[in-house]
Structures are given as structure tokens and as C-alpha cells.
């Protein structure tokens, strides 16, 4: 049976770390999927932290925008702080780009969406019209979710309060994405969010890390010094307009940055439109991958990933996310079949992408699993023809029958 947490049934753990866990969940009283993020119990024992978390998370829950993952509920339950967000099938930007570089036009689409989401939060008001002055404080690739619809959403508003407990005196935010004034004085505002998104942009387009000291202290020293190479210096031939967008976001003086993230979004939109108007990679947003091998790989920088499909940047992003999502967690090697393995496994075939996604969804269930439980999990995960997928998993050797009524996942030989 799924674990109950308040009014939610925790169906599958999507991730975990030093501060908490993330679950795919279902509202017990309705057939609706959500994401539940809950902290470890010890974080809820600090009254000041609880108060601050609830204050900032309540403000975040008032942000309603297509480029921000909506927050449905927040609070404290069973000694844990938690936040309930909309479930959006997709991948965070860090996972999507692991080991590869996106075409620059796709990066610009992601960045434009993220900037719009941040701007919406920065200008959110309460019911009386008073500006909430909400800032994210931890804009990183892990907090930008690219959906299977090709839309990028900012996630985890309010959770930087919890992350700030990692180190005494920390103001929240991942060190290598902090603005100089955030690292020095603890400032968290719209301009620090813009700077952090600028670091994400520089790294996406340059294909390497910007601030990467050997220790947290040396990384913070680099952030404070803010000696940022121009994007044009690391990407020769980059479109001048794109270089200007990113370089301005990374100005050391906050006053020299773009006035708002809306201006940033419009600037990236213009880059995407220029690419679409020319239809020419060489003249538009053509990447330069120096030192790449014939297969596109390089020892120093990730492989350039191009999406060979017609359509807009957003539709190509959607296709990319679906493809990458299917293989985000490759299967581990397994023992050879034993006598308990069903005969159908004898002629094992490779799994399809849809079957790999289905297996990922089943991994969060407690084994052994009934047919009804598996069918329900796949349906809730938005997968079509769940019974056909289960039959395919049996044929591929990824599932085995325990008895007449139950099954369990196995690793393929």
C-alpha cells in the first residue's frame, strides 16, 4: 500500500538528498497527480526556520504563471515541512543537459521561459495589491524544469530558506550560481535571480562551468571577484545580440544588469526569432564545438546535441525531453536468468523508450506488485496502453512473475 502523508498517497519516490525527499503522489480524494517535497524531520525542529519557510512559501503559492510550477499547499505534517506542487512530466535542466550541449536556439527558448517565470514572481502582489518582493534565491539548472510540452518552469520558490541551513551564515542559494552581492551581503532580490540565470545561460552556451573552485570557499572567492569572460570570448562567432544579453546579465554592478527579467526574456525571444527568420544555423545561432571528435564528443566539453526535427524551438525541445526522459536512468547489469525466470524471458529483446519510462514508474512501488497496482501506476503516470506496456516489460525480461497474482521488477541480463 502507498504511504499516506496527510491527504496524499505517496506513489513513487522521485529523488532524495541531505535535506529531504521528493515524491510523485496522488490526492487521496481525487485522481490527480502532484509532487510532494518534504524535509527531513530535524529541519522542522527550528521554530525560526519553520516560520520563515511558511512565510516565504505562502508568498510563492501566490505566483500563478505558465512558467512557474504552481504550488498547491504547504505546511507541516508529521514533524516535517512540506510543499505540494503541480506534477509536470519532464526533466530538470541539469538532467536534460548531462553530458551534452543543447543547440543554442533551444537554450535560448529555455532561458526566455525561465526569465518570464522569474519576472512573474518578482512582480507578484498580494490581494491588496502590495508587492510581495518575492525572489527565488537559488536559480540553478536543477530548479528549471523542462516539460514534455517544451515549456520551462521555475520550481522550488521558497525552498532556498531550507537550503540555507546547509552552512552557518549561509543566505541560501547554490554557491556557484550566487551573485557577488548575495555571496558578500546576503542580498536576495530580482537582480540576484537575474545574475544566477545569467550563469545558467553562460554555461549552457559556453559548454563549461563558470565558477568552479576546488572548494566552496574558492568558488565563493571567484563569485565575489566576478571576473567573467565574455561569452564571445569562449564562443568565437557567437551572435552579437546573444553575447550582449548574457554579458549584461552577469554585470558585477546590479544597476548595470537588465532592468527586469522581462527584458531578459524579450531579448532571448529576439534571438530565437532571429534564428527562425534566417533559417540558417551558420548565420543564426550556430554552435562552435572546438576539439570535438568525429562522433561529436570531446574530452573537455560535452557533446553538442542537435534535434533533427522540423518545427519551432519549443516543439523540438518537447521531442528532446521525451527522448531523454526515456533513457535518463539506464538499467544496471543483472545476473543471468535462473530457473525461476519465466520462459518468455529466454529470448530477451531491447526495451522500447516507452517501456523504459514505464519501468521507471514501477520502480517506486513496493514489490511484489499486482497487475491492478501496476496498471494504475502507469495510468497515473500518463502512459497510454498500460497493459501492453506491462506485456512488453515481461517480454523484455524487465518484469518477472512471482506467483499467479503478483510480479516484481528484475534487471535484464
> For 296-322, how does the pLDDT look when each residue is reduced to its tens digit (9 = 90+)?
333 445 655 555 555 788 888 888 887
CATH 1.10.510.10 location in the chain: 90-326
Q: What spatial distance separates the first Cα and last Cα of the chain, rounded to whole Å?
A: 29
Q: What is the rounded average pLDDT for all residues in the chain?
A: 78
* Better pLDDT: 226 or 303: 226
Active-site annotation, residues: 138
Spatial neighbors of 215 by CB under 8 A, at least 6 apart, are none
81 strand-pairing partners: 76
Q: Are 93 and 200 in contact (CB under 8 A)?
A: yes
CATH of domain 3-86: 3.30.200.20
pLDDT value of residue 259: 98
Of the pLDDT bands very low, low, confident and very high (cuts 50, 70, 90), residue 220 is very high
CATH 1.10.10 location in the chain: 343-409
> For 362-400, how does the pLDDT look when each residue is reduced to its tens digit (9 = 90+)?
866 777 788 777 877 777 666 777 777 887 787 777 887
- Listed range (73-77, 78-82, 225-229, 297-301) with the worst mean pLDDT: 297-301
pLDDT value of residue 334: 26
One CATH from 3.40.50.720, 3.40.50.2000, 1.10.1060.10, 1.10.510.10 for 90-326: 1.10.510.10
Of the pLDDT bands very low, low, confident and very high (cuts 50, 70, 90), residue 140 is very high
For 194-219, letters b (16+ CB in 10 Å) and e give bbbbbbbbbbbbbbeebbeeeeeeeb
Q: Are 151 and 144 in contact (CB under 8 A)?
A: no
pLDDT value of residue 167: 40
Spatial neighbors of 211 by CB under 8 A, at least 6 apart, are 175, 176, 177, 199, 219, 222, 223
Q: Are 118 and 261 in contact (CB under 8 A)?
A: yes
Confidence (pTM): 0.73
Task: Reply yes or no on whether the pLDDT at 233 is more than 90.
Answer: yes
CATH of domain 343-409: 1.10.10
CATH 3.30.200.20 location in the chain: 3-86
Q: Are 74 and 6 in contact (CB under 8 A)?
A: no
pLDDT value of residue 407: 80
Amino acid at each position: 500500500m502507498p504511504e499516506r502523508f496527510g491527504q496524499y498517497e505517496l506513489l513513487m519516490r522521485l529523488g532524495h538528498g541531505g535535506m529531504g525527499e521528493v515524491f510523485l503522489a496522488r490526492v487521496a480524494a481525487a485522481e490527480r497527480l502532484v509532487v510532494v517535497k518534504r524535509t527531513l524531520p530535524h529541519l522542522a525542529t527550528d521554530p525560526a526556520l519553520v516560520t520563515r519557510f511558511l512565510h516565504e512559501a505562502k508568498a510563492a503559492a501566490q505566483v500563478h504563471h505558465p512558467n512557474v510550477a504552481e504550488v498547491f499547499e504547504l505546511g507541516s505534517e508529521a514533524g516535517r515541512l512540506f510543499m505540494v506542487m503541480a506534477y509536470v512530466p519532464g526533466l530538470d535542466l541539469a538532467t536534460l543537459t548531462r553530458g551534452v550541449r543543447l543547440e543554442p536556439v533551444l537554450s535560448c527558448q529555455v532561458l526566455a521561459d525561465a526569465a518570464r517565470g522569474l519576472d512573474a514572481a518578482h512582480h507578484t502582489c498580494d490581494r491588496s495589491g502590495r508587492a510581495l518582493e518575492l525572489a527565488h534565491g537559488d536559480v540553478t539548472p536543477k530548479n528549471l524544469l523542462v516539460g514534455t510540452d517544451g515549456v520551462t518552469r521555475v520550481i522550488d520558490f521558497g525552498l532556498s530558506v531550507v537550503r540555507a541551513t546547509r552552512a552557518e551564515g549561509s543566505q541560501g542559494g547554490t554557491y556557484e550560481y550566487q551573485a557577488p552581492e548575495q555571496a558578500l551581503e546576503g542580498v536576495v532580490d530580482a537582480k540576484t535571480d537575474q545574475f544566477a540565470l545569467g550563469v545558467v545561460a553562460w554555461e549552457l552556451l559556453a559548454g563549461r562551468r563558470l565558477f568552479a573552485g576546488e572548494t566552496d570557499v574558492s568558488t565563493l572567492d571567484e563569485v565575489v571577484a566576478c571576473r567573467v569572460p565574455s561569452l564571445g570570448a569562449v564562443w568565437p562567432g557567437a551572435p552579437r545580440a546573444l553575447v550582449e544579453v548574457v554579458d549584461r546579465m552577469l554585470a558585477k554592478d546590479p544597476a548595470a544588469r537588465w532592468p527586469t527579467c522581462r527584458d531578459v526574456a524579450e531579448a532571448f525571444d529576439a534571438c530565437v526569432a532571429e534564428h527562425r527568420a534566417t533559417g540558417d544555423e551558420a548565420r543564426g545561432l550556430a554552435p562552435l564545438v572546438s576539439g570535438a571528435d568525429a562522433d561529436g564528443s570531446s574530452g573537455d566539453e560535452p557533446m553538442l546535441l542537435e534535434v533533427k526535427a522540423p518545427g519551432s524551438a519549443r516543439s523540438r525541445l518537447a521531442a528532446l525531453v521525451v527522448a531523454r526522459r526515456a533513457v535518463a536512468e539506464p538499467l544496471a547489469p543483472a545476473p543471468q536468468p535462473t530457473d525461476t525466470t519465466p520462459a518468455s524471458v529466454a529470448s530477451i529483446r531491447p526495451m522500447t523508450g516507452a517501456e523504459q519510462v514505464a519501468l521507471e514508474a514501477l520502480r517506486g512501488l513496493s514489490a511484489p506488485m499486482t497487475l491492478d497496482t501496476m496498471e494504475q501506476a502507469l495510468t497515473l503516470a500518463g502512459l497510454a496502453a498500460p497493459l501492453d506496456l506491462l506485456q512488453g516489460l515481461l517480454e523484455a525480461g524487465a518484469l518477472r512473475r512471482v506467483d499467479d497474482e503478483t510480479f516484481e521488477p528484475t534487471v535484464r541480463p
